[in-house]
Amino acid sequence: MKLKYLLPIAFIALFFSCSTDNDDDAIVNETEGLELIQTIINNNQTIELYNEKGMFETGYNLVSLRIKDNTTDSYIEDATLSWMPMMQMPTMEHSSPKSTITKALGKDTVYEGFIIYQMTNTDASGWSLTLNYTIDGTDYSVTETISVFQYENQNTATFMSSDGSNYILALIEPKDPSIAVNEMKVGLFKMENMMTFPVVEDYTIALDPRMPGMGNHSSPNNTDLTYNNADNFYYGDLSLTMTGYWKLNLKLMNTNDDVLKGEDVTEENESSSLYLELEF
Ligand SMILES: [Cu+2]
C-alpha cells in the first residue's frame, strides 16, 4: 500500500484512539439508559437529576444525580449528598419517604437514591426538592421547584391503620409485569410526622390479586410479602395469569399478626380497603 493511503488510515486510528481516552466519553456512558429530569444551577455547580422516564411521578422514583463543577466543566466524584422533598399544601407542608443518597454501583460520577411521592396536584405542582451537598469540606444547599405527575394507576397507598398510625405503601416491582409468577417488591413506611417516614420492619403483607373486570378471579401460587432486612423492602410472589387490569388486594399485619389494615376478599366483599393497582 502506498503512503498516501496509509497516512489517512493512521490519522483516523490516532484520532479515534485519542477520543476514546477522552473523559467526555466515560461521562456520557455513566448516564446511558437514563433520561434527564431537570438541571438545578447553584452558583458554581449544576446538579443533574435523572431517572428512566425523565420525569417524576407519584409512587417510587429511583433517581440518579450528578454534580458538575461549572468552572472546570467536570463532574464531582467525591461529594456527599442528602435531600428533602417537600410538598406545600394549602394548610400545611409535608415531606415523603426517601432513601439516603449513595454513589451508584460501579460509577464514578453518578449518585443514586429513591423518593416516594405519595401525592401530587393535578397540574404536577406542589413539590420542591432541597439538595444539601458537601464538596471538599464546603457545604452547599439549593432548593428548586419540581414537577411530580400523577401516575395513572394506584402505585402507592397512604392510609391510617387500626393502631392509629399512618403508613405509606409503594409498589416497586414488577416494573414490567408478564404472564408469569412475578417478583413483587414494595416499600412500607410509617408516617411518624410530616417530615419523618422510617421503614417499617418485620410486618407481613397478605396478597390477593384479582381481576375485577373478569368475575373478580384470582390466580394460583401467590405468596404473602415478607420483610427483607438486607434492603429494607418487602418481597412476595405475584402470579399474573393474563394481561389487563389487576387489583392487588392487600392486608397489613404487624409483628403480632394483628391486622392493621385491609380485609379478605370474599363473595360479599369484592375488594380490600388496602390495595395497589397494576395494568399491562
Ligand atoms: Cu400533600
One domain for residues 49 and 107: yes
One domain for residues 108 and 72: yes
One domain for residues 94 and 174: no
Residue 30 lies in a domain: no
Q: 121 CA to middle of ligand 1, Å?
A: 8
Q: 147 CA to middle of ligand 1, Å?
A: 13
* pLDDT attached to residue 29: 80
99: pLDDT strictly greater than 70 = yes
* Residue finishing a domain among 126, 149, 172: 149
Q: For 11-57, what is each residue's pLDDT tens digit?
A: 555 444 444 444 555 445 899 999 999 999 999 999 999 999 999 99
One domain for residues 142 and 179: no
Q: 251 CA to middle of ligand 1, Å?
A: 24
Take residue 112 and report the three cell numbers written for it: 443514586
Q: Are 88 and 128 in contact (CB under 8 A)?
A: yes
CATH of the domain at 197: 2.60.40
Q: 93 CA to middle of ligand 1, Å?
A: 7
Residue 244 lies in a domain: yes
Q: 268 CA to middle of ligand 1, Å?
A: 34
Half-sphere exposure of 175 (CA within 13 A, CB side): 7
115: pLDDT strictly greater than 50 = yes
Q: 108 CA to middle of ligand 1, Å?
A: 35
One domain for residues 136 and 165: no
Q: For 149-183, what is each residue's pLDDT tens digit?
A: 999 999 999 999 999 999 999 999 999 999 999 99
Residue 24 lies in a domain: no
One domain for residues 218 and 264: yes
One domain for residues 140 and 163: no
pLDDT band of 5, cuts 50, 70, 90: low
pTM of the predicted model as reported, rounded to 2 decimal places = 0.88
For residues 168 and 276, what is the distance between their CA atoms, to the nearest angstrom?
12
Residue 227 lies in a domain: yes
For residues 225 and 127, what is the distance between their CA atoms, to the nearest angstrom?
31
Residue 177 lies in a domain: yes
For residues 90 and 150, what is the distance between their CA atoms, to the nearest angstrom?
19
* Residue finishing a domain among 118, 149, 180: 149
* Structural domain total, the chain: 2
57: part of which helix (H) or strand (E)? strand 56-57
CATH of the domain at 81: 2.60.40.1930
One domain for residues 168 and 275: yes
> Which among 228, 274, 270, 239 is positioned nearest to 253, based on CA atoms?
274
Q: For 175-222, what is each residue's pLDDT tens digit?
A: 999 999 999 999 999 999 999 999 999 999 999 999 999 999 999 999
One domain for residues 233 and 130: no
Q: Are 137 and 152 in contact (CB under 8 A)?
A: no
Q: 194 CA to middle of ligand 1, Å?
A: 10
Q: 214 CA to middle of ligand 1, Å?
A: 34
Residue with cell 393474563: 242
Q: 263 CA to middle of ligand 1, Å?
A: 26
Residues paired with 70 in a beta bridge = none
* Residue finishing a domain among 149, 168, 189: 149
Q: 274 CA to middle of ligand 1, Å?
A: 19
Q: 1 CA to middle of ligand 1, Å?
A: 72
Cα 258–Cα 261–Cα 264 angle in degrees, nearest 5: 90
One domain for residues 46 and 140: yes
pLDDT band of 6, cuts 50, 70, 90: low
One domain for residues 50 and 126: yes
Q: Are 205 and 172 in contact (CB under 8 A)?
A: no
Tell me the residue range of the domain where 93 lies. Answer: 35-149
One domain for residues 81 and 173: no
* pLDDT attached to residue 21: 45
Mean pLDDT of the chain: 92
